Amino acid sequence: MDKEVTVGVDEFSLVLFYPIYDICNDWQSTAYSMIQEFIYKADIEMLLGKVVEMHDKKPQAYSQAFTIENAPYYFAIAMHDNFVHMGILVMFTAQAWATYQERYYQMYGESVNLAKFLRMIDSPFYKFRLSRIDLTADYKNFDDLSPHSIYDKLENEQYIIVDCNDRHSKRKISAVQNDLATETLYIGSRAENSQSLLRVYNKKNEQISTNGFRLDEALNCENWVRIETSFRGKYAHQITEQLKSVFDDISMSQFIASKICDRYRFFDVSTEHYTDFTQYLIEISKNSNYPALRCESPKNNSLNKSIQHIIYGSGLFPLIYKISIIWGDKAVVEFWSILYEIYKKYHKKKLEINPQIRAWLRKNFLSLSQQSLSDCFVSVDLTKIDVAEIVNKISESDNSFTLTAINTSSNKNIVDTQIVSDEEFERSFYSKDME
C-alpha cells in the first residue's frame, strides 16, 4: 500500500465569555441566552440532534451541562450558576467533531473546518477562544515507523526534538509499554496545566481494541501511527487568533502542519537532518506563512502568589483606605515606615536564620535577582499601570510629617452600608480583575 500522510483536528474545547468587561447582574439568564445563540449559530440541533440536560459526566467544576440526546459520543455545553468568569465551556470530542463535519457536508454540500466553524459562531452576544485543541498527523503504511522505534531512538539520543528555530531544550519523555514494547510515548508534561503535549501512538491498534468510529480505516491499512499535539492555555488562545487568517481546506492543512512543527520537529543526529516523518509535515506546511506559537521566556514566579494575595486577598488596601480617611494620605506613608521598623526590629533577624527561608533563597535568589521587581507582578492584572515607574518613585517620597485626624462627620463620601470584612470586601471589589 502507498504511504499516506494526513493532518486534522481531533478534539477541541472553547469557552464563550460575557462580552462586556463589567459585572453581570443576571448571569444565569444571560448564560442561557448565550448558549441559545451558540446553538443557533452553529446549527447544533440541526446537525447533531436535540440538546438536553446532562446529568452524568458533566465537565469538572461546572454546575450545569447540556449534551445531545442519545448521542454515541461525548459532547457538552457547560456553565456554572454563579461564576461569570468561568464562561460557557463547549467540548467537542473527536467523534462529535467528525459527526458534525460529516452532517454539515450532507446538509450543505460543502466541507467545514475549524476556522470556518469559528467564523460561523461569531456573535455580539459573547466573545470566545479555544481553551484546548488537539492537532494530529496520521502516517499510514509507513513500515519503519512505530512508537517503539521513535522512543528507542529518543532514549539513545539518536533523535532529538527541536522547535521551528532549531532550538533543542530538555523535555520530559515518558512511555506506556506492554511486554517491553512501547505502545504510546509522550513528550512533555501530562499535567492538566501543561501548555503543550505531544503523544505518539499506534492508531490502528487503538481503533481495533476500542472498536472506534474509524475502525474501517484501521482495517484497510497496513499500519497507522498518529502524532498528536495538544495545545492549551496561551497556545490555544494564539491558535484562535491565527485561525482568523485560514479560509480553505488547503490552508487549514498547512496551518495544522505548521503548528505541530512549531514545537515538535524530530531531528536525526546521525544524518543531521529532520526525520522523514517530520519532513513530510514541513512539506505540507510549505508556502504558508503563519506566525510561530510564542514560547514566553521562563520567569521565576515564586513571589507572584504572595504578592497577589497581598493585593487581592489580605485586606491590606481597605486598611490603607481607612488610615487615609482618618489621618490623611501622608499617614499611609507613616504606616509603611512603622511596618518597616517592626520588620527590622522584630522579624529580620529571625528570618535570617529560618531554615525554610534560607532554602527558598538558595533555590530562587539567582533567577529572581536577574529579573526586575515589576516582573513579580505578572500574575496581577496591572496592564494599565507602570509598576517599574511606581517602584522608582517610592524612594522620592517624603516621610516627614505628623498624624492629623480628619473630621469625618461631614464627609459625604462615607456611606452607611452593610459591614463586611476587609478580606471579603477585597475579594468582591477585585473579582472582575481576577477573571
Locate the domains of the chain by residue range. 4-284, 304-434
Q: What angle, 0 to 180 degrees and rounded to 10, lies between the N-to-C axes of helices 316-327 and 330-342?
A: 130
Distance CA 301, CA 314 (A): 19
Q: How far is the C-alpha of 256 from the C-alpha of 353, rounded, in Å? A: 54
- Say how far apart CA 381 and CA 435 lie, in whole Å: 9
Q: Print the SS3 string covering the chain.
A: CCCEEEEEEEEEEEEEECCCCCCCCCHHHHHHHHHHHHHHHCCHHHHCCCEEECCCCCCCCCCEEEEECCCCCCEEEEECCCCHHHCEEEEECHHHHHHHHHHHHHHHCCCCCHHHHHHHCCECCEEEEEEEEEEEEEEECCCCCCHHHHHHHHHCCCEEEECCCCCECCCCEEEEEECCEEEEEEECCCCCCCCEEEEEEEHHHHHHHHCCCCHHHHHCCCCEEEEEEEEEHHHHHHHHHHHHHCCCHHHHHHHHHHHHHHHCEEEECCCCEECHHHHHHHHHCCCCCCCCCCCCCCCCCCCHHHHHHHHHCCCHHHHHHHHHHHHCCHHHHHHHHHHHHHHHHHHHHHHHCCHHHHHHHHHHHHHHHCCCHHHHHCCCCCCCCCHHHHHHHHCCCCCCCCCCCCCCCCCCCCCCCCCCCHHHHHHHHCHHHHC
Which residue in 19, 283, 253, 236 sits closest to 127, CA to CA?
A: 19
66 within 8 A of 52, measured Cβ to Cβ: yes
Question: Which residues, other chains included, contact 127 with Cβ-Cβ below 8 Å and sequence gap of 6+?
Answer: 16, 17, 18, 19
Residues in the chain: 435
Q: The C-alpha cell of 354 is what?
A: 529560618
Q: How do residues 291-311 score in pLDDT, each as one tens digit?
A: 777 755 556 666 777 777 787
C-beta atoms surrounding 33 within 10 Å = 13
Q: What is the pLDDT of residue 384?
A: 44
pLDDT value of position 394: 52
Q: How confident is the model at residue 413 (pLDDT cuts 50, 70, 90)?
A: very low
- Rounded to whole angstroms, the Cα distance separating 388 from 39 reads 46
Asked whether residue 250 carries a pLDDT value surpassing 80, the answer given is yes
* 376: confidence class by pLDDT, cuts 50, 70, 90: confident
Lowest-confidence pick of 33-42, 266-275, 412-421: 412-421
Q: Which residue has the higher pLDDT, 356 or 145?
A: 145
Q: For residue 386, give the C-alpha cell.
A: 507602570
Residue with cell 475549524: 114
Region of 179 (left: φ > 0; alpha: ψ -120 to 50; beta: rest) is left
| Euclidean distance between CA atoms 249 and 319, whole angstroms | 58
Which of 35-39, 101-105, 180-184 has the lowest average pLDDT? 180-184
* pLDDT in the model for residue 363: 75
In this model, does residue 386 exceed pLDDT 80? no
Query: Is the predicted pLDDT of residue 289 greater than 80, yes or no?
Result: no
CB 104 within 8 A of CB 111: yes
Is pLDDT at 416 greater than 50 in this prediction? no
Beta pairing partners, 225:
139, 202
Q: What percent of the chain has pLDDT over 70?
A: 82
- pLDDT band at residue 418, thresholds of 50, 70 and 90? low
